[in-house]
Amino acid sequence: MPDAVEKLLEQSVEHYNQPGFIEADPICIPHRFSRLPDIEIMGFWAATLAWGQRKTIIKKATELIELMDGAPYDFVLNHREEDRKPFLQFKHRTFQPTDTLYFLEFFQQYYRQHDSLEDAFARHLKPDDAHTEKALAGFHQLFFSLPCAPERTRKHVATPARKSTCKRLNMFLRWMVRQDDKGVDFGLWKRISPSQLLMPLDVHVDRVARRLGLLRRKQTDWQAVLELTGRLRQYDPDDPVKYDFALFGLGVLEQQTR
Span 212-257, pLDDT tens digits: 999 999 999 999 999 999 999 999 999 999 999 999 989 876 654 4
Q: 3-class DSSP state for residue 119?
A: helix
pLDDT digits (tens, 9 = 90+) for 44-69: 999 999 988 899 999 999 999 999 99
How far is 40 from 62, CA to CA, in rounded Å? 15
- Inform me whether the pLDDT recorded for 2 exceeds 90: no
Identify which of 49, 54, 59 has the alpha carbon closest to the alpha carbon of residue 93: 49
Alpha-carbon separation of residue 172 from 7, 86, 118 (angstroms)? 27, 26, 11
Asked if residue 118 lies in contact with residue 110, where contact means CB atoms within 8 angstroms, the answer is no
Sequential DSSP letters for 146-159: STT--GGGGGGS--
The DSSP letter of residue 187 is -
Using one digit for the tens of pLDDT, what is the confidence trace for 70-92?
999 999 999 999 999 999 999 99
Backbone angles phi, psi at 123, to 5 degrees: -60, -20
Residues of the chain with pLDDT > 90: what percent?
Answer: 92
DSSP state of 92: B
119-154 as b/e: b if 16+ CB within 10 A:
ebbbebbeeeeebbbbbbbbbbebbbeeeeeeeebb
Q: What is the pTM of this model?
A: 0.96
Residue 1 has a pLDDT of 52
**Any idea what the Cα angle at residue 30 is, between residues 53 and 142, rounded to 5°?**
95
31: exposed, middle or buried (C-beta count within 10 Å: 0-12, 13-18, 19+)?
buried
Percent of the chain with pLDDT over 70: 97
pLDDT digits (tens, 9 = 90+) for 114-129: 999 999 999 999 999 9
**90-95, Cβ contacts within 8 angstroms, sequence gap of 24 or more:** 90/60, 90/63, 90/64, 92/49, 92/52, 92/56, 92/57, 92/60, 93/51, 93/52, 94/155, 94/156, 95/48, 95/49, 95/156
Distance CA(22)–CA(30), nearest Å, equals: 10
